[in-house]
Amino acid sequence: MYGRRLATIEEIIALVSPDSEDELSTLETWAADHEIPVHAVEVGDDIDDVYTPEREYLGVTLGGDGTYLEGVRQFSPRQVPILGINAGTLAFLASISPDDLTDALDETVRGGATVDRRQQLHVEGNGVDCTGINDVMIEHEPPENPVDRKITELEVFADGEFVGEYEGSGLAVSTPTGSTGVSLSAGGPVHYPMNNSSLQIVPLHTHRMGTRPLIVDADTTIEVVSEGSANLLVDGGRAQTRLEEGDTITISGADTSALVVNTSYDDDFFTSISEKLGWSVREDRHDHGDTDRAVETSEAEDVVRRAKQVAEDASKAAGEALRELHGQTESVEYKSDKSDIVTEADYKADNIITTVIENEFPTHGIRSEESDEQVGTSEYTWLIDPLDGTGNFAHGNPNYSISIALLEDEEPVMGVVYAPETDEMFTAIEGEGATLDGLPISTTDRTSLDECMLLSGYDPNGTFLSHCYQETRGVRSIGSAALNLCFLAAGSADAVWEFDTYPWDVAAGVVIAREAGATITNADGEQYDPIAAHETRNELVGSNGPVHEDLLSHLDDEQELQATQQTSAD
């Protein structure tokens, strides 16, 4: 989940620990000012009574790490992002000071925070079936007779392969987030937890010098077989059970991540562990992080360049919402249900994109296919199609896109087109070339139509297909005008024809195609205007350049033939 999507938060659910009344009062006052409902739930109670799947939530924990872990347990399965406020005495996960509560919330709902995915683990066996964000500990039970054996023996398997037998006090299986807890004190490594998908197996007080921590991929299935009695605890006791000889526990990466909100009011990871763990490696280093950020934010920023980054962020955030709904289109039974999903997809994507732009550029105008025009006071206007290719989307086809363009005095100067299902990002700024996922792209250099692959938009009578198919290497119809232009720009096609166009469909794609070297005109060979009014049909012809005149001539011949045939018929 991208932090920009947090700008569309509709409600807050707060898990509140005892003695956090002041923090809750501050949160409720702030939320009332922002017209965001707050549902306060005491730690230990379930959030089901206040949670509705169709709403966009922010989860806030008020307390220490115990409250935060309870938040992870309840919010993560529902994919609700979590903001932790340290209202306890000591916390590592919940790191925002109560003094910074309102500032952190302001930053979050402006879309200025980030969200990282924390790997969780899933534990199953012997009456336990749960998810944790930190670790699983399997430890020996103290014997009733102090002279009896005080170690535990555990056999470990990874994807069915025998790893070995661990003898000692026990074993800790940790996520990257949990690497700074018990596993670290037992000699395990520190893992950078942001978007890190791995698990580590760390022996506790091993009786063998050669036994060392083991790192595995989060998709690995770890099986632990107890050769005697032992205690199992997940996340310090949020779940626990007693193992007997022969019991098997299965541990693997969980299907869902914990969505952790990070603001500028959180300590970064390495600063936090250096302070809490006395990490001497940083003692003599001057930390330039805050200084660099201050310089960056104090310098005058180029509007178009900043707009490109905002458009990329907004399209990524909206793309995630579209992917979630796209997966539902083939599971619904009735056509009307699909229409509802498409309508919801359009609304969600449009709401995310326009809210992000409003927050970043309050004086800019916004024109979107899915919402009323917002007239700005500056020379800049945004053109947005939050879901180009709705027919594809409704049928589970992956060829849909998000199109965002910036106009300066009604001229397109920046374009971003994002394909959520393939995670491809096409971008361009006027005069700076076009890129796909940050790498330069350009059109093909083919010079003959019979070597070319063509893309067609809506072709009501099949005329373009029937008359161009034999003369070329084929005509394909993708179903998204924005993607058609991007495929032309990237060299995946040599030419594009669109029967009729609307500004929000093509403005971004035209900037990208032109910057990649494409020639874009109307059917008469005149300069194509993507912002043209629609009193008449706005036809588009795009090509790599070398074949453009031949393509126009061929189209003109076909149009004359059609006119002649129509006259004869009359």
Please give the single-letter amino acid code of residue 324: E
Pairing of strands 424-429, 152-158: unpaired
Contacts of 447 (CB under 8 A, 6+ apart): 546, 547
User: What CATH number does residue 546 fall under?
Assistant: 3.40.190.80
* Shared domain check, 108 and 127: no
* Shared domain check, 142 and 104: no
Which of these, 558, 564, 399, lies nearest to 486 by C-alpha position?
Answer: 399
Whether 272 maps to a domain, the answer reads: no
Predicted local confidence at residue 284, as pLDDT: 55
Q: Is 144 flagged in the annotation as binding?
A: no
Q: Is 385 flagged in the annotation as binding?
A: yes
Active-site annotation holds for 494: no
* Shared domain check, 326 and 386: yes
What is the CB neighbour count within 10 angstroms for residue 141?
14
Whether 457 maps to a domain, the answer reads: yes
Q: For residue 404, what are the CA distances in angstroms to 416, 442, 446, 503, 535?
A: 5, 20, 29, 10, 24
Q: Is 167 flagged in the annotation as binding?
A: no
User: What CATH number does residue 315 fall under?
Assistant: 3.30.540.10
Whether 73 maps to a domain, the answer reads: yes
* Shared domain check, 406 and 499: no
User: 366 has which bridge partners?
Assistant: 374, 382
Q: Is 388 flagged in the annotation as binding?
A: yes
Predicted local confidence at residue 290, as pLDDT: 46
* Shared domain check, 105 and 150: no
**Torsion angle in degrees (nearest 10) through CA of 467, 473, 479, 483:** -130
Among the candidates 53, 77, 112, a domain finishes at 112
* Shared domain check, 130 and 78: no
Whether 439 maps to a domain, the answer reads: no
In angstroms, the CA 314 to CA 7 distance is: 10
Predicted local confidence at residue 178, as pLDDT: 87
* Shared domain check, 371 and 460: no
Q: Is 369 flagged in the annotation as binding?
A: yes
Whether 390 maps to a domain, the answer reads: yes
Predicted local confidence at residue 195, as pLDDT: 79
Overall number of domains in the chain: 4
Per-residue pLDDT 10s for the chain (570 aa) are 578 899 999 999 999 999 899 999 999 999 999 999 999 999 989 999 999 988 999 999 999 888 998 999 999 999 999 999 998 665 668 889 999 999 999 999 988 899 989 999 999 998 899 999 999 999 987 766 665 666 888 999 999 999 999 988 899 999 999 888 787 778 888 888 887 899 999 998 777 766 788 999 999 999 999 998 899 999 888 889 999 999 999 999 999 999 999 999 887 777 777 776 666 655 555 444 444 433 343 333 489 999 999 999 999 999 999 998 887 765 444 444 556 677 888 899 999 999 999 999 999 999 998 888 899 899 999 999 999 998 899 888 999 999 999 999 999 999 999 999 999 999 999 999 999 999 999 999 999 888 888 888 887 776 676 667 667 777 878 899 999 999 999 999 998 988 888 899 999 999 999 999 999 998 888 989 888 766 677 889 999 999 899 888 877 755 555 544 544 555
**Taking the CA atoms of the chain, what radius of gyration do you get in angstroms?**
29
* Shared domain check, 97 and 127: no
* Shared domain check, 520 and 488: yes
* Shared domain check, 455 and 415: no
Predicted local confidence at residue 567, as pLDDT: 47
Q: Is 276 flagged in the annotation as binding?
A: no
Q: Is 253 flagged in the annotation as binding?
A: no
Among the candidates 429, 459, 484, a domain finishes at 429
Sheet containing 57-63: order of strands = 38-42, 11-16, 57-63, 82-86, 258-262, 114-118
Q: For residue 464, what are the CA distances in angstroms to 55, 148, 389, 554?
A: 45, 87, 20, 10
Predicted local confidence at residue 145, as pLDDT: 67
Among the candidates 366, 397, 429, a domain finishes at 429
Residue 213 class from Cβ within 10 Å (0-12 exposed, 13-18 middle, 19+ buried)? middle
Whether 295 maps to a domain, the answer reads: no
pTM of this structure = 0.79
Range of the domain at 98: 3-112
Whether 286 maps to a domain, the answer reads: no
In angstroms, the CA 106 to CA 104 distance is: 5
Helix axes 21-33, 101-109, angle to 10 degrees: 40
Whether residue 525 contacts residue 542, with contact meaning beta carbons closer than 8 Å, is answered with no
* Shared domain check, 416 and 345: yes
Whether 266 maps to a domain, the answer reads: no
* Shared domain check, 389 and 362: yes
Predicted local confidence at residue 289, as pLDDT: 46
Catalytically annotated residue among 22, 49, 65, 450: 65
